[in-house]
Structure 1
């Protein structure tokens, strides 16, 4: 009897691994300027995901929780930045990482950029630091505020390929404060970006 349960567990883990593989392949395939690390990063994430099933987040948010959260937050940050830099009409790869309001704001910005005939060239260099500024629980929701310092090469060009802003040969340091949120009673392991502080 125990063998049947083991086979079911193996099948479930295989299904989870396959789902994560498809999601991450779409995400990592879009990145620029970071291709050298994508494969190793993908392997690590996949192994961790296969070895654990989604569970409810603990009521506490201790140092170990914060450490694991920051790993995911860094990946989410890069994914969202590179997705926004793609010259599509709307956000695609990072849709599940954004709440409805932020998703709509990003798409509106993309529409305005495209309407002006502009396109972005953004190369993500890396994250210098990511620190949790604050975390607090409101009812069943845990909100975590993160300060990011990252480096990118960015420029905006018009339809004639003339530079409107930025510099394609200069690394720029950017400072962002993002708020991520998650329902602690949900079995869904995903955090979502719910606010960007200016």
Structure 2
């Protein structure tokens, strides 16, 4: 039941976005951040690592201190840079139906939900011609540690231009000339002090 609920949430957030969900705002910028992987742990620094960042919700600070306590080399700024890159790469892989790329970015339950949505799109003969114009902000809104399992939730405010095409390539929804404001809340997870440095997507929702 949990897996089914997650699948429905993922499809509702990512499977239906066509460009008509909100009033479009004209944007033409193409200031994409450079692709980077989610952060590896940096070398520990002397003293206590402060959790002071305008991109952190105060309610997440205690959880982030727990993350840093479990892995002293954790760097908030580096994590946010990696999370933005992962946001872009995950969206683009989903839009393109690239399940192999998604497998490197998300946990198996999330991959199953993505794959189901991609298959439904294929059966309908539809393709997505979407483009992430810009990420306006990325803010950590929650952080938790249970044992060695860390989970960090990030709110992304972004502009996305979107087109849905039918099997003949005709546009049936959306426009690439306009960008739609989107507000997503994604949760990334990782086992602290593990050999795998990558954080993977475990949940998505709309803000």
2:90 aligns with 80
Q: Identify if the C-alpha distance between structure 1 residues 126 and 145 changes in structure 2 by more than 3 Å, giving closer, same or farther.
A: same
The structure number with the bigger radius of gyration is 1
TM-score normalised by the chain length of structure 1: 0.68
The structure with the largest helix share of the pair is: 1
Could you tell me how far 1:162 is from its partner in structure 2?
A: 2.9
2:185 aligns with 177
Contact residue 149 and residue 173 of structure 1 kept, 8 A: yes
1:118 aligns with 2:164: no
Could you tell me how far 1:161 is from its partner in structure 2?
A: 2.7
Which of 153, 156, 169 is the equivalent residue of 1:145?
A: 153
Could you tell me how far 1:185 is from its partner in structure 2?
A: 3.2
Query: Where has structure 1 moved over 3 Å in runs of 4 or more?
Result: 33-38
The total of aligned residue pairs comes to 154
2:79 aligns with 69
Which of 105, 110, 113 is the equivalent residue of 1:105?
A: 113
2: CA distance, partners of 1:176 / 1:36: 19
2: CA distance, partners of 1:34 / 1:172: 13
Greater RCO (Cα-Cα under 8 Å, separation 6 or more) = 2
TM-score normalised by the chain length of structure 2: 0.65
